[in-house]
């Protein structure tokens, strides 16, 4: 933990963190996310001793509710499969629990708790009335037929529905959960409850209650955040070489917006390797492969002979000025950060949740790279989910232009809050400190106002 200069505060933080480790054994990702926030907020405690009195830190480190359930389903061969489902309803001081569902074999309680913890502060930064939550299952959608995906979603929702509601808990997508899965989940919720409750899920299809810009929002938002960080330094994205890891929704639309803002994204990846296209990633080809055909990134080089595919390897070896990790947690380590710094990176923007390891973050901060942490930089997705909830509540639907404009304003607002908070608390230019403190203050003020809950 970073020393604050006040031994009493330092000791208290160490104690809280030790208790978190003790109470949550075997959850390294959760410990990592908590450690990062606790390391930033020492100065807040010195300024606001009442937060310690109310035991806000201790309360914030404990999720309000953790739900774990069995998800039984039958595959196409008639074989019975069992998965484990989760929903961590992390904090509802600012609004109903809000956050995505992740379907991936790596999902476990540690991952869902770290994501729910991060989500709470991220959602606070959007200034929208949403609490934090996250869920998912250790289900691997890869290679599964459409009918299997549907049966899995139906079984998952058959348990989860009782915990949801537009004023209670509003899931959305994340890795492995897109519009198709939200459709099956929503259909099952509607069937069980006999309610067309549009506001219970976001990321819905445009023709049945979804919002324009939601599919693009996380990636667009990350690109907007990169632009804001560069502008704050009197620089811009214009002509900058960008490397974006991943090739899902977040990566694809980060690339699209980076291109529109003047950058040139030359590389992206999936779990098998990465492609480099020096002329700039061709978005139409990428969308056809990944969105339409649900294929692999290696297929890209068959259609674009100018590009090369590197099997395995590390995408961060590709020299660039802007790096956007948009794949998954801890995908960019200290060694990769050192390579990026050596190659002259000027901005790093986290499109995924916690993709940079603590070592990597430390290295970027030490070398004065503009570093946008996920809870600020990728908040555009959930913010647009909140805009979807607004549209559902008023039975309205907004144009693409208007919604995108709202998204851009929200991202500019988040950037400003992080920038100013970092300055106020003595760490100018440090968006990690800015995001953690600004998010924490908003959540803790609401928690204090609502009494001991
Ligand atoms: N899964 C996304 C995130 O990490 C979006 C959540 C939402 O839209 O509720 O923020």
**pLDDT tens figures, 347-405:** 999 999 999 999 999 999 999 999 999 999 999 999 999 999 999 999 999 999 999 99
Tens digits of per-residue pLDDT, 102-125? 999 999 999 999 999 999 999 999
Per-residue pLDDT at 23 = 98
Which residues does a 6 A CB cutoff place in the pocket of ligand 1?
98-100, 172, 174, 202, 353, 381-382, 385
- Listed residue (333, 79, 122, 81) closest to 218, CA to CA: 122
- Note whether 243 and 342 are same-domain residues: yes
Run of H or E residues at 420: helix 400-424
266 inside domain: yes
- Note whether 39 and 79 are same-domain residues: no
222 vs 7 pLDDT, higher one = 222
- Note whether 52 and 86 are same-domain residues: no
Residue 2 has pLDDT above 80, yes or no: no
Ligand 1, atom nearest to 122 Cα: 10
Ligand 1, atom nearest to 102 Cα: 1
Residue 10 has pLDDT above 90, yes or no: no
Per-residue pLDDT at 258 = 98
pLDDT bracket for residue 3 (50, 70, 90): confident
pLDDT bracket for residue 7 (50, 70, 90): confident
* Distance in Å, CA 341 to ligand 1 centroid: 29
* Distance in Å, CA 381 to ligand 1 centroid: 6
- Note whether 296 and 271 are same-domain residues: yes
- Note whether 323 and 190 are same-domain residues: no
Q: Which H, E and C letters describe 354-374, residue by residue?
A: CCECHHHHHHHHHCCCEEECH
For residue 72, the domain's CATH number is 3.40.50.10860
Tens digits of per-residue pLDDT, 192-218? 999 999 999 999 999 999 999 999 999
Q: Ligand 1, from 95, 116, 119: best to mutate by most atoms within 8 Å of Cβ?
A: 119
Per-residue pLDDT at 286 = 97
Cα-based torsion angle of the residue sequence 381, 382, 384, 388 in order, rounded to the nearest 10 degrees:
130
- Note whether 18 and 100 are same-domain residues: no
Residue 1 has pLDDT above 80, yes or no: no
Closest-CA residue, ligand 1 atom 10, reads 382
* Distance in Å, CA 174 to ligand 1 centroid: 6
* Distance in Å, CA 168 to ligand 1 centroid: 16
- Note whether 166 and 279 are same-domain residues: no
The rounded distance, in Å, linking the Cα atoms of 452 and 65 is: 16
pLDDT bracket for residue 126 (50, 70, 90): very high
For residue 5, the domain's CATH number is 1.10.285.10
pLDDT bracket for residue 329 (50, 70, 90): very high
Taken as a whole, the chain contains a residue count of 453
228 inside domain: yes
The rounded distance, in Å, linking the Cα atoms of 376 and 257 is: 17
Residue 340 has pLDDT above 90, yes or no: yes
- Note whether 39 and 143 are same-domain residues: no
Domain end: 352, 367, 382, which one?
Answer: 367
245 inside domain: yes
Per-residue pLDDT at 424 = 97
50, with CB counted inside 10 A (0-12, 13-18, 19+), is: exposed
Per-residue pLDDT at 46 = 86
Tens digits of per-residue pLDDT, 394-446? 999 999 999 999 999 999 999 999 999 999 999 999 999 999 999 999 999 99
393 inside domain: no
Per-residue pLDDT at 52 = 87
427 inside domain: no
Considering its fold, how many domains does the chain have in total? 3
Q: Ligand 1, from 101, 381, 384, 435: best to mutate by most atoms within 8 Å of Cβ?
A: 381
- Listed residue (418, 440, 442) closest to 429, CA to CA: 418
Per-residue pLDDT at 135 = 98
Residue 5 has pLDDT above 80, yes or no: no
134 included as an active-site residue: yes
* Distance in Å, CA 304 to ligand 1 centroid: 32
Domain end: 166, 196, 226, which one?
Answer: 196
* Distance in Å, CA 239 to ligand 1 centroid: 30
* Distance in Å, CA 382 to ligand 1 centroid: 5
Ligand 1, atom nearest to 119 Cα: 10
- Note whether 264 and 307 are same-domain residues: yes
395 inside domain: no
Q: Ligand 1, from 173, 225, 250, 253: best to mutate by most atoms within 8 Å of Cβ?
A: 173
356 inside domain: yes
Domain end: 328, 344, 367, which one?
Answer: 367
- Note whether 246 and 356 are same-domain residues: yes
- Residue 165, strand partner residues: 169
* Spatial contact of 171 and 164, defined as CB atoms under 8 Å apart: yes
Domain that holds residue 49: 1-62+432-453
Residue 332 has pLDDT above 90, yes or no: yes
- Note whether 300 and 316 are same-domain residues: yes
Question: What rounded mean pLDDT belongs to the chain?
Answer: 97
Read off the pLDDT of each residue in 44-67 and give the average, rounded to a whole number. Answer: 93
Task: Return the structure tokens found at 380.
Answer: 């555009």
- Percentage of the chain beyond pLDDT 70 is 100
Q: Ligand 1, from 100, 107, 213, 389: best to mutate by most atoms within 8 Å of Cβ?
A: 100
- Strands 308-311 and 169-172 come out as unpaired
- Note whether 96 and 44 are same-domain residues: no
Tens digits of per-residue pLDDT, 165-202? 999 999 999 999 999 999 999 999 999 999 999 999 99
For residue 221, the domain's CATH number is 3.40.50.720
Q: Estimate the crossing angle of helix 431-449 against helix 109-125, to 10 degrees.
A: 90
Per-residue pLDDT at 9 = 86
134 inside domain: yes
Question: 134, 204, 240, 257: which one is catalytic?
Answer: 134
Ligand 1, atom nearest to 99 Cα: 9
Read off the pLDDT of each residue in 341-352 and give the average, rounded to a whole number. Answer: 98
The 80-91 sheet, strands edge to edge = 65-74, 80-91, 132-137, 97-103, 169-172
Per-residue pLDDT at 138 = 98
């Amino acid at each position: 933990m970073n020393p604050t200069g006040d031994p009493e505060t330092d000791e208290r933080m160490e104690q809280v963190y030790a208790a978190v480790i003790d109470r949550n054994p075997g959850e390294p990702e959760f410990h990592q996310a908590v450690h990062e926030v606790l390391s930033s907020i020492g100065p807040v405690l010195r300024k606001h001793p009442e937060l310690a009195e109310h035991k806000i830190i201790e309360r914030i480190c404990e999720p309000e509710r953790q739900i774990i359930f069995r998800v039984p389903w039958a595959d196409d061969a008639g074989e019975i499969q069992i998965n484990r489902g989760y929903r961590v309803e992390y904090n509802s001081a600012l609004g109903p629990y809000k956050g995505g569902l992740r379907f991936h074999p790596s999902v476990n309680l540690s991952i869902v708790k770290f994501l729910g913890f991060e989500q709470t502060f991220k959602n606070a930064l959007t200034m929208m009335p949403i609490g934090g939550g996250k869920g998912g299952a250790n289900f691997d959608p890869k290679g599964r037929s459409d009918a299997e995906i549907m049966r899995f979603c139906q079984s998952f929702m058959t348990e989860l529905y009782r915990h949801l509601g537009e004023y209670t808990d509003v899931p959305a997508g994340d890795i492995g959960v897109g519009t198709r899965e939200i459709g099956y989940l929503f259909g099952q919720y509607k069937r069980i409850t006999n309610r067309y409750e549009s506001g219970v899920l976001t990321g819905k299809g445009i023709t049945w209650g979804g919002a324009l810009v939601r599919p693009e929002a996380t990636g667009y938002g990350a690109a907007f955040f990169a632009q804001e960080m560069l502008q704050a330094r009197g620089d811009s994205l214009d002509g900058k070489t960008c490397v974006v890891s991943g090739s899902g929704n977040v990566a694809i639309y980060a690339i699209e917006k980076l291109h529109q803002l003047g950058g040139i994204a030359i590389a992206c990846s999936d779990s098998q390797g990465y492609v480099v296209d020096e002329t700039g990633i061709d978005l139409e080809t990428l969308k056809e492969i990944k969105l339409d055909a649900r294929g692999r990134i290696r297929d890209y080089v068959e259609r674009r002979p100018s590009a090369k595919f590197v099997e395995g390897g590390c995408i961060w070896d590709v020299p660039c000025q802007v790096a956007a990790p948009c794949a998954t947690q801890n995908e960019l380590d200290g060694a990769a950060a050192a390579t990026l710094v050596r190659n002259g990176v000027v901005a790093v923007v986290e499109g995924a949740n916690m993709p940079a390891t603590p070592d990597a973050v430390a290295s970027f901060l030490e070398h004065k790279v503009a570093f946008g942490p996920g809870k600020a930089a990728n908040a555009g997705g959930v913010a647009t989910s909140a805009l979807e909830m607004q549209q559902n509540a008023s039975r309205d639907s907004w144009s693409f232009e208007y919604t995108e404009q709202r998204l851009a304003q929200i991202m500019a607002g988040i950037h400003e809050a992080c920038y100013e908070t970092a300055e106020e608390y003595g760490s100018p230019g440090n968006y990690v400190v800015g995001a953690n403190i600004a998010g924490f203050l908003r959540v803790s003020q609401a928690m204090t106002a609502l009494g001991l809950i």
